[in-house]
């Protein structure tokens, strides 16, 4: 349960950040209209109604590649010199 609440909080913060930075622009282009409800002896009837409409514009992210030169460190392995009188291990 805590994980679900945490994910919900992160999602809400992401939406707020997207709107605050201008990455997402939301404009309402049509308002909502409540349905007309009438009650009679025969029951309740509902007519009409309209959901609001929104125009949502989002930014874009372009991903690409480019060639570049990177200096890579060079690694040299120098084995130790056998010293006179040193014991070598030839276990195989």
- Convert the pLDDT of each residue in 28-54 to its tens digit: 999 999 999 999 888 998 888 899 999
pLDDT in the model for residue 90: 55
Instruction: Identify whether 47 is part of a domain.
Output: no
Q: Which domain holds residue 17?
A: 1-25
Instruction: Identify whether 19 is part of a domain.
Output: yes
Instruction: Identify whether 30 is part of a domain.
Output: no
pLDDT in the model for residue 8: 95
- Convert the pLDDT of each residue in 82-91 to its tens digit: 765 555 555 5
Q: At 38, which helix (H) or strand (E)?
A: strand 36-40
**Bridge partners, residue 33, by sequence:** 50
pLDDT in the model for residue 68: 94
Instruction: Identify whether 8 is part of a domain.
Output: yes
Domain total for the chain?
A: 1
Instruction: Identify whether 65 is part of a domain.
Output: no
The CA distance from 92 to 90, in Å, is 6
The CA distance from 48 to 33, in Å, is 8
Question: Does position 78 have pLDDT exceeding 70, yes or no?
Answer: yes
Instruction: Identify whether 68 is part of a domain.
Output: no
């Amino acid at each position: 349960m805590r994980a679900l609440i945490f994910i919900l909080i992160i999602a809400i913060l992401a939406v707020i950040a997207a709107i605050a930075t201008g990455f997402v622009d939301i404009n309402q282009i049509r308002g909502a209209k409540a349905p007309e409800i009438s009650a009679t002896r025969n029951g309740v009837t509902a007519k009409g109604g309209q959901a609001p409409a929104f125009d949502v514009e989002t930014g874009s992210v372009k991903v690409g590649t480019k060639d570049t030169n990177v200096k890579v460190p060079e690694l040299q392995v120098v084995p130790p010199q056998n010293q006179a009188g040193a014991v070598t291990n030839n276990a195989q």
